[in-house]
Amino acid sequence: MRIGVVSDSHGFTGRLSTILMVMEAEKKPLDALIHLGDGYYDLRDLQVDLPVYQAAGNCDPFCSDTLNIVNLSGARLVLTHGHYQHVKEGLDDLLALAIQEKAQAALYGHTHLQRMEWRNGILLLNPGAAMDGRFAILRISRLGAVEAELRSLY
């Protein structure tokens, strides 16, 4: 499974559209798209024809779903913007949540900085800010193993 991961588009739908075109232009098409908040409604205007999984951010008014736990292709994923897990101060709270949820990966945004690391066998992934042209590709094998790649338009 090949999944596009974005966060923090903050209304820059043109940039988000370009990111989606770049992701879709590769040999293997996307199977799904994840948006990790602060631009929760930005995909609505782009008419994305993929399954979309989201978590609302601190700049997404009238959204209460700030945490989403999904099972995709045998992998359990925590989707969050990260403000409630205090990711600007470190990733300990995010890791604790991932362990509690028995997740293979925890995906977050909020900091606008791309980051990918493994802790306790769990992938912690921030695709960076889509408004700055940053995104990630998440791959899930048939056995539920996860791997990711950070990307940028520039």
**5-62 tens-digit pLDDT:** 999 999 999 999 999 999 999 888 899 999 999 999 998 888 888 999 999 999 998 8
pLDDT at residue 95 above 90? yes
pLDDT of residue 100: 98
Q: Which residues contact 49 (CB under 8 A, 6 or more apart)?
A: none
3-state DSSP: the chain helix, strand, coil percent, rounded to 5?
20, 35, 45
Distance CA 99, CA 107 (A): 13
pLDDT of residue 58: 96
pLDDT bucket at 96, cuts 50 / 70 / 90? very high
- With H, G, I as helix, E, B as strand and everything else as coil, classify residue 40: coil
pLDDT of residue 94: 98
The rounded percent of the chain whose pLDDT value lies above 70 is: 100
Using CB atoms within 10 A of its CB, is residue 8 exposed (0-12), middle (13-18) or buried (19+)? Answer: buried
| Ramachandran bin of 111, using left for φ above 0, alpha for ψ from -120 to 50, beta for the remaining angles | alpha
Query: Stretch 112-137: mean pLDDT, rounded?
Result: 98
Catalogue all structural domains in the chain, each as residue range(s) with its CATH number.
2-152 (3.60.21.10)
pLDDT of residue 103: 98
pLDDT of residue 61: 86
- pTM of the predicted protein model: 0.96
Distance CA 21, CA 56 (A): 23
Q: Which residues pair with 116 in a beta bridge?
A: 125
pLDDT of residue 64: 85
**pLDDT tens figures, 47-77:** 888 999 999 999 998 888 899 999 999 999 9
pLDDT bucket at 148, cuts 50 / 70 / 90? very high
